[in-house]
Amino acid sequence: MSAVQTTRASSRQVRPADARRVRESPLSRTAAMLVMGVFTLYFLVPIWWLFVSATKDPGQFTSTEPLWFAKFSLLQNIHDLLHYDGGVYLRWIGNSLAYTGGGALLGTLLAAMCGYALAKYRFRGREALFNVVLGGVLVPATALALPLFLIFSQAHLTNTFWSVFLPSLVSPFGVYLTRIYAAASVPDELLEAARLDGSGEVRTFFTVSVRLMFPALVTVFLFQFVAIWNNFFLPLIMLRDQSIFPVTLGLYSWNTQVNQIPELRGYVLVGALLSIIPLIVIFLLLQRFWRNGLGAGSVK
């Protein structure tokens, strides 16, 4: 018998055993599906409750089934919300978009530059600086709110747009992620070739490195967008003027007045429902780039 025939015969003998070994048991598959189903319900039931509540008349919140529809008045509720108090809710949405859009974009750019520099340049104290960045990842944002308030109060910037916008530009986790991704996805040989062709460092970064790091940048942007949009504690400390409130702080201020003004309960529910739409839209728009980039990285 030849060596090829011997190899084929041995492979035929091993394959059934391998197939039995990797075959999933019905019990494990059922347990996995059960766990995923429980967590899916855990995340979706509050959103379903919010949507159902936003469709009801103010008098139906406590007198009807909480998880099912009564009178469908969503459009009228949205109309009343947008026109309440001179359309202040639209101003809050605009403020949140300004804080979030600018903060996420500039924060991603700064994180990309810092992470790229830590990954591709050799300089004294690089590892110590990276360790400081890692330490920043471990510090919760709420612990920094009071020191930030003291700093901005000394600079007379509290109760201004900048007191919320400027802290949003710093993302230690974004620096960490872009540093790891730049080290793995941007070859040193490619950078050397760009330098030999006469390309400057800034031009090389924006024309070569950013394209290779794009999946990581999309990830950082999404994390930044969600974190800034949901930010509540920092605006609560920094802001007093209602005209510059983000939507999170604005809805909170309404919720504190529900006992005095009962109709605000409906506005809070409808406003909370509308406030999650930008997060859904931005995720759906960017997930294509995110998924394609992760797939390309796995193939490489």
Q: In this predicted model, what pLDDT tens digit does every residue of 124-172 receive, in sequence order?
A: 989 999 999 888 888 888 888 889 999 999 999 999 999 999 999 999 9
Look at residue 12 and tell me if it is in a domain: no
Helices 264-275 + 88-120 axis angle, to 10: 30
Residue 23, pLDDT score: 65
- What's 97's domain CATH number? 1.10.3720.10
Look at residue 6 and tell me if it is in a domain: no
Residue 13, pLDDT score: 47
Look at residue 53 and tell me if it is in a domain: no
Mean pLDDT of the 221-230 span: 93
Tell me the per-residue pLDDT of 70-98, one tens digit each, with 9 for 90 and over: 888 889 999 999 999 999 999 999 999 99
Tell me, yes or no, if the pTM score tops 0.75: yes
Q: Measure the CA–CA gap between 11 and 162, rounded to whole angstroms.
A: 68
Tell me the per-residue pLDDT of 102-128, one tens digit each, with 9 for 90 and over: 999 999 999 999 999 999 999 898 999
pLDDT over 80 at 275, yes or no: yes
Look at residue 13 and tell me if it is in a domain: no
Domain boundaries, position 179: 81-299
Look at residue 130 and tell me if it is in a domain: yes
Looking at the 3D structure of the chain, how many domains does it have?
Answer: 1
CB 280 within 8 A of CB 130: no
CB 105 within 8 A of CB 292: no
Look at residue 245 and tell me if it is in a domain: yes
Look at residue 126 and tell me if it is in a domain: yes
Look at residue 134 and tell me if it is in a domain: yes
